[in-house]
Amino acid sequence: MVFFSVPSFVLAQIPPQSLAPLFHQFEGASAVTYIRKVADIPGPALDVAKTVIKTKDFAMADAGQKWNATDVVEDINLPFRRLIWCTVVNDVYVMHYELGGVGHSFHFLVVSSAGKTGKRSLTWVAAGPQNALDLRDFAEQAQAGKLISDSRIGH
């Protein structure tokens, strides 16, 4: 059973039509490779994730590995976040992971292209009640308004 709760103050939602430029970058991506190990995510993209996930020590389990999925802590040494997948399309990274604890939720971070400055930044962040199987599923959920995009959501 998956629970997803959003505090009542989280009301801001990016309208799906304003995401069109972002998802336009993903169109035509036929050979998408998925990263399933945190250590394989390139440093600059991971650095952006670390600034968004504001914890003392950044900890995230690899896809399929043990983690604390609920508030019943089985092992205090296991992280409360687990990578589902990360991919790069047209130099834009999309990271999808799950967050355990009192409520189990699914999160997405979109990290910008390095561009002319060579620096990456957070383009979009969202959370939702269900897993996205792949990049296309993520885009469909976002464009259908099924994801909540608000910087005040804990990631």
Please answer whether residues 147 and 132 qualify as being in contact, where contact means their C-beta atoms are separated by less than 8 angstroms. Answer: no
pLDDT, one tens digit per residue, over 52-61 is 887 667 899 9
Alpha-carbon separation of residue 82 from 13, 37, 105, 108, 137 (angstroms)? 25, 10, 11, 12, 19
What pLDDT sits at residue 12? 40
Burial 59-77, CB ≥16 within 10 A → b, else e: ebbbbeeebbbeeeeeeee
3 state SS of 64:
coil
Buried b (16+ CB within 10 A) or exposed e, 32-54: eeebeebeebeeebbebbeeebe
Q: What is the pLDDT of residues 72-95, one digit of tens each?
A: 888 999 999 999 999 998 888 999
The whole-chain average pLDDT of the chain stands at 80
Residue 35 vs residues 72, 97, 101, 114, 133: alpha-carbon distances, Å = 28, 11, 24, 19, 13
Which of the two residues, 12 and 148, has the higher pLDDT score?
148
Q: How far apart are CA 82 and CA 61, in angstroms?
A: 4
Nearest to 107 by CA among 136, 138, 132, 128: 128
pTM, two decimals, is: 0.82
The residue extents of the domains of the chain are: 17-143
For 90-119, the pLDDT digits (tens) are 888 999 999 988 888 899 998 888 888 888
Integer Rg of the chain from CA: 15
Distance CA 110, CA 67 (A): 23
